[in-house]
Amino acid sequence: MLKVANLSLAYGDAQALDDVSFEVAEGEIVALVGANGAGKSSLIRAIAGMERPAAGTITYRGTEITGWPSHKVCEIGIGQVAEGRQVFPSLTVLENLELGAMLRRARAGEARNLDRVYTLFPRLAERRGQAAGTLSGGEQQMLAIGRCLMGEPELIMFDEPSLGLAPTIVQEVLKTIRQLNADGLSVVLVEQNVALSLKIAGHGYVLENGRMAMTGSGADLLNDDRVRQAYLGL
């Protein structure tokens, strides 16, 4: 479905990604694991068209999308729940959701998708008229996910969706991601809680200093000594 081949990305002199290859098959959850600064967000942002890679290719369903601007990448069906949630704080919850549906692909299904989001997150329905900046962290994360769903993506890349949230809400967010996946969405998941993310992932990739250090099934990586030592603290 998504295929990243030999991708390199630099910020000025600082190399963030070096010859990275990465693949997502239709309908699976892929966990992307790595320490702080390993390049996980850079990879997601490069796929999303928010950074320009120096080399390599990104292909989605057979179409090469390397270097496409972010609005075209979203339009083709790749959604993102970004690091730090990135809601529009002074806009209302409903306005945030409406803007998620500004993509041409999502116009026709807007009403249905809004229902779906409100069913998934009843809290957002309760607070639809409230400024997004007044929501709690957990509610903002629901809004970020809901807003992404309004764009009818086929693949969603989640960048640390549970960062800074209370443990009970972390469980809820991961449950939601599993449910979305069960409903047919393909998922790239970057998650602080490495054990949990590998447990629900079909495949996992380990990034180290901008290079792909390891890859395998979620279960294999969970049992790998190096992974256990470096990322699970075991």
Partner 1 sequence: MTPTIVATVLIGGILTGCVYALMALGLSVIFGVIRVVNFAHGEMMAVAMYAAVFLFAAFGLDPLHALPLVAAGLFAFGYALQRRLVEPFVRRPEHEQFILLLAVGVILTNGALILFGPEARGIMTDYAFDSYAVGDIIIDKTKTIAAIAAIIAAAGLLGFFRFARTGKAIRACADNLIGAEVIGLDVKRLYTLTFAVGTACVGVAGTLLAMIIEVTPALGPELTLLAFVIVIVGGLGSMPGAIFGGVLIGVSEALAGLLIVPSMKSMLSFALLIVILVLRPEGLLGRRPS
Interaction site with ligand ADP (CB under 6 A) = 11, 14, 16, 34, 36-42
Quote the tokens at residue 176: 């939601």
Give the x/- contact pattern for partner 1 in 66-85, rule: CB under 8 A: ---xxxxxxx----x-x-x-
Which residue in 18, 31, 41, 157 binds Mg ion (CB under 5 A)?
41
Give the x/- contact pattern for partner 1 in 120-159, rule: CB under 8 A: ---------------------------xx--x--------
Answer with the entry of partner 1, ligand ADP, Mg ion, none that 73 interacts with (C-beta below 5 to 8 A by kind).
partner 1
What secondary structure does DSSP assign to 49-91, as a single string?
A: TSS--SEEEEEETTEE-TT--HHHHHHTTEEEE-TT----TTS
Q: What's the CA gap between 81 and 3, in Å, rounded? A: 19
Angle, in degrees to the nearest 10, between helices 110-120 and 137-149: 150
Angle, in degrees to the nearest 10, between helices 137-149 and 93-100: 30
| Cβ at position 107, least distance to ligand ADP in Å | 32
| Cβ at position 122, least distance to ligand ADP in Å | 32
Applying CB under 8 A, does 99 fall inside the site for partner 1? yes
Nearer to Mg ion, 41 or 181 (CB): 41
Q: What's the CA gap between 184 and 48, in Å, rounded? A: 20
